[in-house]
Amino acid sequence: MSEVCGVEQAENVEVKAPELEPEQLQGLLAYLGSSFERAFEAVEPGAHEFRSAIANGNDMNDDDKAINAFKLGYINGLAHSLHLLAFNGAIEKVLNKPENVIRFLSAMSRLFKLYNEYSAGQKRGWLNIYDGLAGVSNELEDFVRDIAVQLKVQE
């Protein structure tokens, strides 16, 4: 009986993640930013998890869930294409430039911010989410285009 009460009490306790300042995570960011491969591995599950959260949510109808799932697939497609390029000699060099890895992380960080806000119930509704996702995909599209420009200049 006491064990059951203990479980109930534990379930009622709100577990709050400790607040972290970005400065406290500089070491982690520097590590992730040191190679495109590391950065990609860190962010890869984001789009899948976000899509799953939207699919299980009750703030959108099925049509709107589909539209956002497509957009998340689009974002994942851009990230995956870049990742495939990361194994190709000259392109790998460009992608691994610290400023490029950081830019990629920054774009994907917008996705995680949106995901966190969605999970916390701070941002809901298909248009809010779609707008946020469009911002991420636009940033990634610009990034891919700039990588192509850098490749041309590097030649």
Partner 1 sequence: MSEQEQTQKSGLEAFKGILDYMSDSFARAYIFAEVVPANFAYDVAQSSEITEKEKAGLLQSFGEIGALMDMLKAGYDNGLGMTFLENPDNVKEFMTIISRLLALYRDFRNGIMIRPIELSLAVSDIVSDLQSFFIRFMKSINASE
Sequence-separated (6 or more) residues with CB below 8 Å from residue 145: none
| Tokens coding 32 | 């992730």
From the CB of 98, what's the least distance to partner 1, in Å? Answer: 20
Rounded CA gap, 42 and 49, in Å? 13
Cα pseudo-dihedral 10, 45, 28, 121, rounded to 10: -50
Q: Are 115 and 50 in contact (CB under 8 A)?
A: yes
Q: Which of 25, 30, 45, 52 binds partner 1 (CB under 8 A)?
A: 52
Q: Which of 70, 119, 125, 127 binds partner 1 (CB under 8 A)?
A: 70
Amino acid (one-letter) located at 106: S
141 part of the interface to partner 1, by CB under 8 A: yes
137 part of the interface to partner 1, by CB under 8 A: yes
CA of residue 115 relative to chain centroid, distance: 8
Q: Which of 44, 67, 112, 126 binds partner 1 (CB under 8 A)?
A: 67
From the CB of 88, what's the least distance to partner 1, in Å? Answer: 6
From the CB of 75, what's the least distance to partner 1, in Å? Answer: 7
Which stretches of the chain bind partner 1, using CB under 8 A? 47-48, 51-52, 55, 62-63, 65-67, 69-78, 80-81, 84-85, 88, 90-91, 137, 141, 144-145, 147-149, 151-152, 154-155
